[in-house]
Structure 1
Amino acid sequence: MKLAVLDLVPVVEGGTIGAALDNAAQLARTAEAAGYHRFWVAEHHGMAGIASAATAVTLAHIGHATSTIRIGAGGIMLPNHNPLVIAEQFGTLDALFPGRIDLGLGRAPGADQRIVNALRKDVNRAAEHFPQDVVELRAHFTGEPKMPLQATPGLGADIEMWMLGSSLFGAQLAAMLGLPYAFASHFAPDHLDAALKRYRDEFKPSATLAKPHAMAAINVFVAETDEQAVYEASSMDQAFVALRTGNPGRLKPPVDGYRESLPVQQRAMLEHMRQASAVGSVDTARRQIAAFAERTQADELIFAGSTFDPAHRRRSLELAMEAAAGL
């Protein structure tokens, strides 16, 4: 099984955007050395705690810091953009880092209504045209069908396109277009099993993919002990609660006993959101990762999970690779 990394490029309390980008590059180098297959960052706008809004620029920075690991967007929210512009951006990335570029596509705007207004786009209408825009974007790379305007860079670029999703819609579209599919179970686990089944049942082979290829996301925090892993994971727990209660911000330091301190309703919400997780020592994480892999039968797993101290995330990835050995 191939393993990948999803990094939110977190900005911590007291930190800077520059430090967050530098930490992302260091994390990508750690992932490459540990044997991970992919390193993805995602498009989020107007989020004080996430530094990857300019996703293609962030990937160029990470690409220059690495040499072999695949790098990509997990994902680009296509309704925010013109397909031609994304073709040019990722065509440029392919020219800089040949054969290493992934382009995951999502239908959600990745923002609230304020950002939608700031983008000056009718995102709801654009979301309705998402399937056509995906086909158009692919045509900019493949030249089939021929587009009235050739994307340069873009045409002929060796881009691995993915469909992302947290519902059945993305699964159906990925199956129809013969694209690999990644499910965002690290924060939206409700439709995981149904979406993977729909994708596999309805998959139609394409010129680039002969059979279904699915990736599932899981939050992974591995440390020397179970207690240390739970402690480090509490920064991400705080971020989830802050997001769901309408108060997102920069990533906070870990807190002992954070989950136990929450009101019952918030704790239940957090437990539900974080059900796709592996948190603990190598032995504990091994059992949890293996159970998730067995449940999903995924071809790849992508590990998410930010820590306040970037050194702890780097160490977590090294230990997670040890935990996942033999899957």
Structure 2
Amino acid sequence: MQHFSLLDLSPVPEGATATEALANTADLAVAAEAAGYHRFWLAEHHNMPGIASAATAVVIGHVASVTRTMRIGAGGIMLPNHAPLMVAEQFGTLATLHPGRIDLGLGRAPGTDGATARALRRNMSPEDTFPQDVQELIGYLGSGPAGAVRAIPGEGTEVPVWILGSSLYGAQLAAYFGLPYAFASHFAPDMLGQAIEVYRAQFRPSETLAAPHVMMAAGVCLADTAEEAETLRSSQYLAFANLRTGRPGKLPHPVADVAAHIPAPVLAQVKHALSVSATGTPEMARARLTELLERYRPDEMMVTGMIHDPAARVRSFELAAEVLGGLRG
């Protein structure tokens, strides 16, 4: 593992507002930079009361303005929701304001429900144009001959483009285009190993990347005691269970006995989906993260975690940075 990074969704806790959530994100980014995180990514989600990062490029600009050295980016922008030119202009502007610090991760899913997807796109095409849209977007950000349509700002910024995925499709596409690849194992663990193998086996060198570069994601929830960490972790279990059962809301308060609040079959599904994770003390996390790194051999690891108390969330990521810093090599 060369680097460790952080993914934030700007969670809106119960009892708090989106204004507070975005302020918490900025505070977390400042702490993450001080702790040694290499990247700080934000993700696009829509129509979710518990996530404040819907206007992802705007939040990236906010975070970039309060940090100095850490790379800031999207993990990711759901490209089917947007015209490639608009994304190129947004991220070209970000790269112009914050040179050498902006990343652009692209996802193929809508990141929302069907009705919201229709509201975002207005005219939904039945065809899958994701590969063509990726190529078009990269062209706008490149330094090649200018076409009839240009992204200004954007042209010549060469913003690094990543392909995100949770299946073999993204792995194959990233390999074909010679792009770095990030796997969403923090909520979709089943195909992680196979996707990494496919990506590395099929990778074709490109002008921007000579060798495959893969990042895996893991949840973390660390505290001074295992009991405290388990209680803090319950908020994410509750939120994920609410989402799975069609009741998305703000990030719930933690509970001592999460099994008393989530039906057993649903809790089993939630724990499986979130199984690529480390919860407990730093010592426990070191053992678990070492196991994950040795098994999958990623070039980078990105950690994430939804904790109701902002101070406890910052503390969890600071402890995780201490652990990951010792595992980097």
Which ranges in structure 2 are unaligned for 5 or more consecutive residues? none
User: Paired residues, what number?
Assistant: 326
The 2-side partners of 1:264 and 1:258 are apart by 10
Aligned counterpart, 1:312: 312
The 2-side partners of 1:143 and 1:122 are apart by 31
The 1-side partners of 2:265 and 2:251 are apart by 22
Cα pair 2:25 2:63 within 8 Å, conserved: yes
Q: One-letter code of the match for 1:98?
A: P
Cα RMSD, aligned residues only: 1.2
Q: Deviations over 1:204-253 (max 9, x none)?
A: 00111110000001000111011111111110111110111111100011
Aligned counterpart, 1:94: 95
TM-score, length-scaled by structure 2: 0.96
Q: Percent identity over the alignment?
A: 54
> Equivalences for 1:147-296 in 2 at 5 Å?
147-259=147-259, 261-296=261-296
1:121 to 1:145, Cα distance in 2 relative to 1, 3 A: farther
Query: Which is worse superposed, 257-266 or 275-284?
Result: 257-266
Q: Deviations over 1:17-42 (max 9, x none)?
A: 11111000000001100000000000
The 1-side partners of 2:56 and 2:121 are apart by 19
Task: Indicate the SS of the match to 1:278.
Answer: strand
Q: One-letter code of the match for 2:68?
A: S
Displacement, 1:296? 1.3
Aligned counterpart, 2:60: 59
Cα pair 2:237 2:267 within 8 Å, conserved: no
Q: One-letter code of the match for 1:273?
A: A
Displacement, 1:122? 4.2
Q: One-letter code of the match for 2:184?
A: A
The 1-side partners of 2:125 and 2:220 are apart by 33
Which ranges in structure 1 are unaligned for 5 or more consecutive residues? none
Cα pair 2:82 2:121 within 8 Å, conserved: no
The 2-side partners of 1:132 and 1:144 are apart by 17
Q: One-letter code of the match for 1:159?
A: V
Q: One-letter code of the match for 1:90?
A: F
Displacement, 1:150? 1.1
Cα pair 2:143 2:158 within 8 Å, conserved: no
Q: One-letter code of the match for 1:109?
A: P
Residue 117 in 1 paired to residue 118 in 2? yes
Residue 8 in 1 paired to residue 25 in 2? no
Aligned counterpart, 1:27: 28
Cα pair 2:236 2:305 within 8 Å, conserved: yes
Displacement, 1:321? 1.2
Q: One-letter code of the match for 1:15?
A: A
Cα pair 1:139 1:145 within 8 Å, conserved: no
Residue 103 in 1 paired to residue 119 in 2? no
The 1-side partners of 2:261 and 2:43 are apart by 31
Q: Deviations over 1:186-214 (max 9, x none)?
A: 11111111111100000000111110000
